Amino acid sequence: MPFDFINTHLQARQQDALLRKRHVVQHATARTITVNNKTYLNFASNDYLGFGDEAVNLNDSQALGSHSSALVTGYQAQQKALERYLCEQFGYGAGMLFNSGFSANSSVIKALFQDKAAAQNSAIFQDKLNHASLIDGAMHSNAALVRFNHNDMNHLRSRLEKSKAQNKLIISEGVFSMDGDTAPLKELLALAKQHNAWLMIDDAHGFGALGKTGLGSCEALITQTLPDILIITFGKTVASSGACVLGSKQFIDYMLQFNRDYTYSTAMSPLMGSHTLARIKSIKTADDKRDKLNANIALFKQLAKTHNIAVMESNTAIQPIVLGCAEQTLQAADKLKQQGIWLTAIRPPTVAHNTSRLRITLTAAHTEQDITHLVKHLVGAIA
């Protein structure tokens, strides 16, 4: 029968405890989530500062839709204002907005190497733990893809030294979404300079939560040297949606010519642009929320250590506990749900085989009692 493979693959996923399902969320905040009329403590949100619980109040009403591509009539003053503000904050020459971080990441890589002649003399060097959007973009580009071991600068150096490519692009993440650790940005920049390469950073989980004023993983580099390409997304700490690609004016002009996702997608909503800009301005002064988030991270790590819970080495809001077995990880997540705790069982192919994990995400909205309750029941769930 045609398409019998669909059922075969679904059955295989089910047998391997890897079948994915959606849950209808009736209500969610950074602290709680309601599913099937039951409310849980929410330790699976990327709303790290808890801004998603707060309304954005704008005096003027904005149109909901942009009505067309940015290259037709969809590029409006609200989107321009958001791009300009981000360029001013970081010091980049230009920016362009996308409706999702996945689209921004994958399309930038594909567009940069769209010229087959140039791509034949180009190589993309990616951290092995980079997000699927970055890997997909490289795999669908015309350039060679070279992987280096996670945060291993010696391995990257070796790869760069062996490469004869004229155009080299190094890609990493500011904060790695499944491990919670951070990239050695200064070392990456030094290697890029040494090998005449470009550096591209996806700071989806760093922007808003890290940095003195919430500008993310690269804030400390603003007065020094920034990555050639910086991609920030608005669906995490900003509690909005979409993304912005920042770079030189020449680079953004090139993207405007050859980025198919940008050319053939309806532009970001003006309403979304206005609300996102207002939220980012609020984040700039949200010192109390960042302090609370950092205090919650420290408390969780301290309690986990006291109870001999093996948490991966991370100083960010992402605190993973690797259990290895997918079935065991699902069972642990179910046990926690019975105790009123909602968090995600991350399994392959999102992470490597035998590294299934409970991915705990902390926010500024959590109380000390919430974290104490979580750790208390983690002990029993993973025993």
Active-site residues, by number, are 46, 131, 173, 177, 202, 205, 236
Among 364, 328, 12, residue whose Cα is nearest residue 208: 364
Calpha distance 118→344 (Å, rounded): 42
Q: How far is CA 182 from CA 87, 153, 192, 247, 363, in A?
A: 23, 13, 18, 21, 18
DSSP state of 221: G
In angstroms, rounded to a whole number, what is the distance separating the alpha carbons of residues 168 and 125? 7
Print burial letters for 112-121: b (CB count within 10 Å at least 16), e (below 16): bbbeeeebee
Concatenating the DSSP letter of every residue in 309-320 gives ----S--SSEEE
The single residue listed with the structure tokens 């499944």 is: 178
C-alpha separations of 279 from 52, 292, 335 in Å: 10, 18, 36
If residue 159 lies in a helix (H) or strand (E), which one and from where to where? Answer: helix 153-162
Tokens at 249, concatenated: 């004016």
Half-sphere exposure of 94 (CA within 13 A, CB side): 10
Q: List the one residue out of 102, 141, 114, 111 whose CA is nearest residue 125.
A: 141
Query: For the chain, first and last CA: distance in Å?
Result: 45
ω before 349 within 30° of 0 (cis)?
A: yes
How many Cβ atoms sit within 10 Å of the Cβ of residue 64? 10
Please report the sign of the dihedral spanned by the C-alpha atoms of residue 66, residue 69, residue 75, residue 80: positive
Residue indicated by tokens 């760069």:
160
DSSP notation for 267-281: PPPHHHHHHHHHHHH
